[in-house]
Amino acid sequence: MKKLFRGIMATALGVCMAVPFVGFAACAPQDDGAAKSYVALDINPSVELILDKNDDVLSVTAANEDARVLLYGESGIVGEHISVAVDRIASLAEEYGYLSESNAVIGVNVSSALGEGREAQLQSSINTQCAATSESFDFSVTMSTEGAWSVLRALTDLKAEYPDNEEIQDLTVARFRVILSAQEGNPALTVEAAVEMDEEELLQMAAEAAERIEVYATEAYNVAVAAAERAYEKTKAAVLQTSLSALYTLHSSAEGAIYNMYATAAYGLNFIADAAEYAAQIGNAPFTEEQIARVCAAFGLDETEKAVLEDADGQVTLNSVLAYADRLFKNSPAGQSLEEMKARLDAELKEVAAEVAAEISRLSAEYREEIEAVLDTAERFADTAGLFVPEWLENYFDEFASMLTTLRASLLDGMTVENLREAATMFEEKKAEVEGTIRTNLSEETLAEIDAVQANIEERLDAAKAALEKAVETAKEQAEAYLAACKAARREGTA
């Protein structure tokens, strides 16, 4: 349940929060430029700003794809006072049609290490500036501090999961968003640990995360870069593993052969698990027609109106539904009917998200074929190595054969990514056990030679590095062209 909650929470943030960020960051902050306050502006686009003690902007971060388009190629935000930055963002949002008569609510969440007084001051200053900026618009702008529904929903679920944690129960929407921003650059940071930290430390972590994000980092860019990095890591791991297996076999033939047997299985399964895990993104998994119909019913939409739920690719996903819900709910009058709709949608999305999670956690036929290939290769290697390995080591082969049999049975039953990761871990543990035996029996001189060979090989992976760099550069060019085209289309009113 915790794993599913974390996945669902992350997808909510893809709509309004942090997946993946686009940052425009100032230089590394000095003492006078330490992160002191956080401001989130939710228009759809959703934009986050980190401020110093003087309320000058240290970084501005796009929290969704609309914000990436809005901020791309723009200046006049970082380094400016918050009032100037807010004026710039609101003006751009109106210029490009994001802020309009039908979407005229600006949500504001503020958190500050300087205390509640500064938070109130910032809130008032932002409200005043938005009112002044909107005087040139053809419509009135309304301010809200409630928070985007997708974020409120994630926070409600978090509090339900930790009913006895007082710090989590006391979380405000703004502080929750600061924590999530900090987690972007620190994936190992848990909410339980974050609530124990002081605000300034969290803000500094969020600011540092923003500095590392490229301004053109669209979702497609991040997917392409991740694929290129996986390809590079696969090549590097394969070369280093082959070399190490050969060296161990050279110096300790029997144990080296067993090491290679486990290493082949562990490496292959781990790589497949990495790829499958990355592909299993709940937020961007397309809904089925039946699921779309259920979501439409929750909104009170006719199925012919489902286009309002679609993303830029024409797909209905959890992220696209949450984005529509955020826009709809913040621009709708409060009342019982709205709360009933929120409750219906929340319940329906929980069911759909659970269905999607269950479906994508099961390995596709493509991955099953790859797993079979890994197991076949490892089995053939074990059969060959078994011809010359002494009898006193045969228990390793019996154990290995048993592990393969269990894995094949799991494949027939419908293996999940978690099952695959568990199997890879078992092979890793056996590999480490054998490696420990090998290294214990080798001299310090031999071990130094082996380590030197490995280091030299890693340094000379020039072709793989060049392929990675080329893929990243291509992804950058495509992302920038996409953002520029989206911006031009919105300017022309054709988006």
pLDDT tens, position by position, 88-141: 999 999 999 999 999 999 999 999 999 999 999 999 999 999 999 999 999 999
Which residue is it, tokens 């401001």?
39
25 occurs within a structural domain? yes
- What's the pLDDT at 23? 44
CB 41 within 8 A of CB 49: yes
In a 10 Å sphere around its CB, with 0-12 CB exposed, 13-18 middle and 19+ buried, how is residue 422 labelled? middle
% the chain with pLDDT above 70: 87
pLDDT at 342 exceeding the cut of 90? yes
Q: What are phi and psi of 363, to 5 degrees?
A: -70, 135
Task: Retrieve residue 175's tokens.
Answer: 């502080």
26 occurs within a structural domain? yes
Q: Which residues contact 324 (CB under 8 A, 6 or more apart)?
A: 299, 308, 309
- What's the pLDDT at 386? 63
| 300 vs 289: CA distance, rounded Å | 16
CB 39 within 8 A of CB 58: no
| 403 vs 409: CA distance, rounded Å | 10
238 occurs within a structural domain? no
| 285 vs 308: CA distance, rounded Å | 17
Tally of domains in the chain: 1
248 occurs within a structural domain? no
- What's the pLDDT at 13? 42
* 175 beta partners: none
For 11-38, letters b (16+ CB in 10 Å) and e give: bbbbbbbbbbbbbbbbeebeeebbbbbb
Determine how β-strand 46-51 pairs with β-strand 105-112: unpaired
- What's the pLDDT at 360? 66
pLDDT at 17 exceeding the cut of 80? no
* Nearest alpha carbon to residue 109 among 204, 205, 14, 43: 43
- What's the pLDDT at 165? 95
- What's the pLDDT at 279? 57
384 occurs within a structural domain? no
In a 10 Å sphere around its CB, with 0-12 CB exposed, 13-18 middle and 19+ buried, how is residue 400 labelled? buried
pLDDT band at 453 (very low <50, low <70, confident <90, very high): confident
Of the ranges 1-10, 374-383, 408-417, which is most confident? 374-383
pLDDT at 280 exceeding the cut of 60? no
Domain of residue 20 covers 2-211
- What's the pLDDT at 162? 95
Q: Which residues contact 284 (CB under 8 A, 6 or more apart)?
A: 11, 14, 219, 315, 317, 318, 319
Task: Retrieve residue 420's tokens.
Answer: 């695959």
CA atoms within 13 A on the CB side of 40: 30
98 occurs within a structural domain? yes
223 occurs within a structural domain? no
* Nearest alpha carbon to residue 399 among 272, 265, 274, 249: 265
Radius of gyration of the chain (CA): 26
Angle, vertex CA 257, rays to CA 255 and CA 262, nearest 5: 95
Task: Retrieve residue 407's tokens.
Answer: 């894995």
List pLDDT tens digits, range 361-400.
665 556 777 777 887 877 776 777 666 666 767 778 888 8
* Nearest alpha carbon to residue 209 among 224, 226, 187: 187
% the chain with pLDDT above 90: 48
Q: How large is the average pLDDT for residues 425-438?
A: 90
CB 11 within 8 A of CB 282: yes
Angle, vertex CA 127, rays to CA 83 and CA 11, nearest 5: 90
- What's the pLDDT at 236? 80
| Sign of the torsion angle spanned by Cα atoms 120, 123, 126, 132 | negative
Task: Retrieve residue 41's tokens.
Answer: 């502006």
- What's the pLDDT at 166? 95
CB 53 within 8 A of CB 32: yes
CA atoms within 13 A on the CB side of 237: 15
pLDDT at 20 exceeding the cut of 60? no
Over the chain, what is the mean pLDDT?
A: 84
Q: How large is the average pLDDT for residues 30-36?
A: 74
Residues in the chain: 495
Three-state secondary structure call for residue 13? helix
| 91 vs 98: CA distance, rounded Å | 10
416 occurs within a structural domain? no
pLDDT at 248 exceeding the cut of 50? yes
- What's the pLDDT at 412? 64
| 263 vs 424: CA distance, rounded Å | 10
Provide the H-helix boundaries in 164-299.
166-169, 173-185, 191-194, 199-211, 219-251, 253-279, 289-299
